[in-house]
Amino acid sequence: MFTIVKKESMADDTVILNEIEAPRIAAKARPGQFVILKANETGERIPLTISDLDAARGTITVIYMVVGKSTALFKTLEEGDAYQDVIGPLGKPTDIEKLGKVVCVGGGTGVAVLFPITRGFKEAGNEVVSIIGARNKDLLILEDKMRAASDTLHVCTDDGSYGHKGFVTEVLKEVLDSQKVDLVVAIGPVPMMKFVSKLTYEYNVKTLVSLNPIMIDGTGMCGGCRVSVGGETRFACVDGPEFDGHKVDYDGLMQRLNAYAKEEKAAYDEYCRLRGI
Amino acid sequence: MTGKAAKKEKIPRQPMPEQAADVRRRNFKEVPMGYSPETAITEAKRCLQCKKPACVTGCPVQIDIPGFIQQVAAGDFAAASQTIWGKNTLPAICGRVCPQEIQCEGECILGKKDEPVAIGNLERFVADFSREQDTGELPEKAASTGKKVAVVGSGPSGLTVAGDLLLKGHDVTMLEAFHKPGGVLVYGIPEFRLPKDIVASEVAALERLGLRIECNSVVGRTVSVDELFEEGYDAVYIGVGAGLPKFLNISGENLIGIYSANEYLTRANLMKGYLFPEYDTPLAKGKNVAVLGAGNVAMDSARTAMRLGAEQVRIVYRRSREEMPARAAEIHHAEEEGIEFYLLTNPIRFIGDDEGRVVQMECLQMELGEPDESGRRRPIPIEGSEFLLDCDLAVVAVGASANPLLTQSDPEIQLNRWGYIIADPKTGKTTKKGVWAGGDIVTGQATVILAMGAGRVAADSIHDYLTIGW
Ligand SMILES: Cc1cc2nc3c(=O)[nH]c(=O)nc-3n(C[C@H](O)[C@H](O)[C@H](O)COP(=O)(O)OP(=O)(O)OC[C@H]3O[C@@H](n4cnc5c(N)ncnc54)[C@H](O)[C@@H]3O)c2cc1C
Ligand SMILES: Cc1cc2nc3c(=O)[nH]c(=O)nc-3n(C[C@H](O)[C@H](O)[C@H](O)COP(=O)(O)OP(=O)(O)OC[C@H]3O[C@@H](n4cnc5c(N)ncnc54)[C@H](O)[C@@H]3O)c2cc1C
Ligand code: SF4
Ligand code: SF4
Ligand code: FES
């Protein structure tokens, strides 16, 4: 059993943070890696990024957005409750090295995935410029942690309720126009990663994105997480989740993410109906 | 021929009672229902008790087949169970899934003229009978040696190694990547062929013998082989199976609705997707289902799709009927359940709609040419024979290869050119000191009983190492 030692609600209660006891994983995990969690006997295996860890306490932190049945079920778990299964650390860690200037771009809950990578690049001696965005001020997460992990932090909201009004790509363009950038890391909704990659391609700046296809085992045995990168089929759980942003087939990824849309919606609606949500 | 034997041959092979095909094709309950004690005794009496039993040479673990059958004939099922257990610790499973027609029953002398003794059915009967009568009594364990062994992977080979080493007095911990132990027995082979309760009860028996199982442990990620030694293990056995799905590498293969058999069966079996939404993992239901391949994995996928309500399920295979690698019983059951066979048919591309869902598959008709290096006649395409098949769900079941997750993490463990671990067939020793391997990760996808056989060999060698030296 993997006990939740801390639970926090963020972004207007749509995003939840869990600090979970998992000493083996905490001792091993590196930025960019993820875990798979299963709440109970009948539960689904859900991948979430390790957003932070405390090796001394033997805990890892995950931050998830409530989007469907399984994340709604996770949300019912309180401090002291436990996940039945937590598997990890999975995926390849981010290749962190001293490059010079690194721009970290995050959108929505992608910021939770971005944070440990940002901190990693900063600790490796890079100058880190971060750009984070959300639909509005209330949905913005991890602003303080991102600020602490960056040399400069830009904030955007779609509605202008905080920071720059508009998309992260607009701020990124300004940065690319005015400074020499060695690497861009972009993590967030698929369309955001797609547009960031399009932009950085024009500027010829290497770009890493972190993909989130549907996963089952996370160990390379089912092929469900396959994505097309540079025309080749790759398994995101073992070859990724990070790939060269200029080579990813984003449209194919978006289609595959919708594979179960009908079943997922029905399951979520039924779950909410039974619980009067 | 003696008069006695001639008389015995007159008893026909006792058929296995089964759920009717038109009922079972829509449910997940086990298909064969097992012999009654009376039927088992009748069948056992067919055995000629050969002096040089050919059947035993056909069994990879050399069960004393005439021995246990004689005990069944005498009604002493408990003794029969002991006899089987001497060589095979998972008889309820092997009785159900061994390809008996090319192993024990394939060699049975009766099969020359008549039908062979139903060895598999009898083995299954004995195992089920003793499980149902379970007294909770455990085999005797040797005194503790104080040595610790880590077994990586909980498939049939890992379970065999663990069982043998526990009985020899060692302290055994099993590390499994999934959240449930059993390997292919739980994630691959469906409930209607091997009820999961049976696997669970075999695993529970090992736990009562003292086995510790750490699920959710991906060796190579959660912990490395070297770290296991640092944690105080004296020996490590690797039985991680051949869990890397092969795809066809044809156009359109990433469309929605196209699965590897591993994914399709894992969703169905391990995650119980067939009980969605009671269980949370969704499983796509197809109307027109195409399964590519013709091994056990393909039959299991096709029959699963039928049980989920498909209107049409087709096995598409590029060779002919003779080359189909599945167990005879599975092909027979699949046909009875209304699965269609498109033989000498090769898929060349998938066609999707504008949402990216597969809707059709283009195939080529093949004919058989000269034998290839495997000795099977090579299928060659017939020019201009392209045709379209409707399919909204396709399962690719054309084999598996070695999963590199663990092996890439430890360069001291040498691999052959296909990525399988090199292990001495007589001992199971790898090129790294203190590390053994066996089962599908050494041989490529094979059978349950061969994986168990490899486990037994390795357990003996590990025992020697722990008591004598490398
Ligand atoms: C490597 C990786 C890391 C991730 N990290 C985070 C994270 O840190 N925080 C976060 O909020 N989300 C993260 N996700 C996404 C998260 O896994 C999904 O939001 C979650 O599975 C949704 O499940 P649900 O049942 O609540 O929603 P559903 O109603 O089932 O689905 C909602 C959406 O989630 C996607 N999804 C469904 N099942 C899975 C699955 N088994 N695997 C992946 N995606 C699925 C579907 O495409 C669907 O569009 C990550 C995904 C991956 C692959
Ligand atoms: C669908 C299907 C049907 C089959 N039908 C038959 C049949 O009817 N008859 C027959 O004889 N054979 C059949 N087979 C083949 C048979 O199941 C295999 O040959 C046998 O299971 C191999 O056993 P194993 O112990 O080597 O590996 P597996 O059974 O594959 O078990 C390996 C285990 O190791 C775990 N693992 C993998 N990597 C790691 C890691 N890094 N760390 C920790 N754990 C790990 C896996 O999760 C798995 O549980 C079938 C196979 C399939 C897929
Ligand atoms: S273990 Fe398999 S091959 Fe051996 S006797 Fe039993 S069914 Fe036959
Ligand atoms: S070969 Fe057949 S008849 Fe002879 S001992 Fe074996 S099972 Fe009995
Ligand atoms: S999740 Fe199964 S191969 Fe990646």
Quote the ligand 3 centre to A144 CA distance (angstroms): 64
Is A233's Cβ below 8 Å from some Cβ in B?
yes
Q: Please report, in angstroms and rounded to a whole number, the separation of the first and last CA atoms in chain A.
A: 28
Residue identified by tokens 């994505």 is: A227
Q: What is the per-residue pLDDT for A166?
A: 83
Q: How confident is the model at residue B372 (pLDDT cuts 50, 70, 90)?
A: confident
Q: Do A28 and B271 touch (CB under 8 A)?
A: no
Token pair of A73, please?
A: 């079920």
* A216/A47 Cα distance (integer angstroms): 8
Residues within 8 A of B (CB atoms), A 166-225 only:
216-224
Quote the ligand 4 centre to B121 CA distance (angstroms): 14
Q: H/E element holding A196?
A: helix A190-202
Q: What is the per-residue pLDDT for A147?
A: 92
Helices (H), B133-214: 156-167, 184-187, 196-208
How many residues can be counted in chain B?
470
Q: What is the per-residue pLDDT for B171?
A: 96
Contacts of B217 in chain A (CB under 8 A): 24
Q: Do A69 and B254 touch (CB under 8 A)?
A: no
* B252/B262 Cα distance (integer angstroms): 19
Q: Are strands B435-437 and A52-54 parallel, antiparallel or unpaired?
A: unpaired
Question: Helix, strand or coil for residue B329?
Answer: helix
DSSP letter string over B181-200? S-THHHHTS-TTTS-HHHHH
CA closest to B402 among chain A residues: A221
Q: For the segment B55-65, what is each residue's pLDDT rounded down to a tens digit?
A: 999 998 899 99
Q: For the segment A152-162, what is each residue's pLDDT rounded down to a tens digit?
A: 999 998 888 88
Closest to B432 in 3D by CA, of B161, B192, B228: B228
* Beta-strand runs (E) in A30-81: 34-38, 46-49, 52-54, 59-65
Strand order in the sheet with A34-38: A46-49, A34-38, A85-90
Mean pLDDT, rounded, for B426-443: 96
Q: Do B218 and A87 touch (CB under 8 A)?
A: yes
Contact A220, A238 (CB under 8 A): yes
Q: For the segment B194-241, what is each residue's pLDDT rounded down to a tens digit?
A: 999 999 998 998 999 999 999 999 999 999 999 999 999 999 999 999
Contact A132, A140 (CB under 8 A): yes
* C-beta B48 within 6 A of ligand 4: yes
Note the ipTM here. 0.89
Q: How confident is the model at residue B135 (pLDDT cuts 50, 70, 90)?
A: low
Interhelix angle for B77-85 vs B65-73, to 10°? 170
Alpha-carbon distances of B253 from A13, A226, B391, B395, B469, rounded to whole Å: 39, 10, 13, 10, 51
Q: For the segment B30-53, what is each residue's pLDDT rounded down to a tens digit?
A: 999 999 999 999 999 999 999 999
DSSP A211: -
Residue A27: HSE in the Cβ half-sphere, 13 Å Cα cutoff: 8
Sign of the CA dihedral running B19, B23, B24, B30: negative
Q: For the segment A242-273, what is each residue's pLDDT rounded down to a tens digit?
A: 999 999 999 888 888 887 777 787 778 877 77
Contacts of B178 in chain A (CB under 8 A): 217
Q: What is the per-residue pLDDT for B2?
A: 45
Q: How confident is the model at residue A276 (pLDDT cuts 50, 70, 90)?
A: low
How many residues can be counted in chain A?
277
Quote the ligand 2 centre to B439 CA distance (angstroms): 8
Alpha-carbon distances of B251 from A231, B40, B255, rounded to whole Å: 11, 52, 9
Averaged confidence pLDDT in chain A: 90
* Minimum-distance ligand 3 atom for the alpha carbon of B98: 2
**Pairs across A and B, CB distance < 8 A:** 114
- Over 50: is that where the pLDDT of B89 sits? yes
Closest to A232 in 3D by CA, of A244, A220, A219: A244
CA closest to A36 among chain B residues: B216
Is A27's Cβ below 8 Å from some Cβ in B?
no
Sign of the CA dihedral running B416, B421, B426, B431: positive
Substitution site in B98, B124, B447, B452 for ligand 3 pocket (most atoms within 8 Å of beta carbon): B98
Contacts of A227 in chain B (CB under 8 A): 254
Q: Do A222 and B260 touch (CB under 8 A)?
A: yes
Quote the ligand 2 centre to A125 CA distance (angstroms): 46
* pLDDT more than 90, % of chain B: 79
Angle subtended at Cα A99 by Cα A94 and Cα A101, rounded to the nearest 5 degrees: 105
Q: For the segment A96-150, what is each residue's pLDDT rounded down to a tens digit?
A: 999 999 999 999 889 989 999 999 999 999 999 999 998 888 888 888 999 999 9
Q: What is the per-residue pLDDT for B3?
A: 43
Chain B residues with at least one Cβ partner in A under 8 Å:
177-179, 215-218, 221-223, 243-245, 247, 249, 253-254, 256-257, 259-260, 262-263, 266-267, 271-272, 276-282, 284, 355-356, 403-405
Question: pTM for the full model?
Answer: 0.90
Contact B211, B141 (CB under 8 A): no
Closest to B384 in 3D by CA, of B360, B361, B359, B367: B367
Q: Do B276 and A267 touch (CB under 8 A)?
A: yes
Mean pLDDT, rounded, for B314-319: 94
Closest to A169 in 3D by CA, of A153, A137, A191: A191
- Over 70: is that where the pLDDT of B274 sits? yes
Averaged confidence pLDDT in chain B: 92
Q: Do A267 and B280 touch (CB under 8 A)?
A: yes
DSSP A18: E
Q: Do A88 and B222 touch (CB under 8 A)?
A: yes
DSSP B357: B
* Minimum-distance ligand 5 atom for the alpha carbon of A238: 4
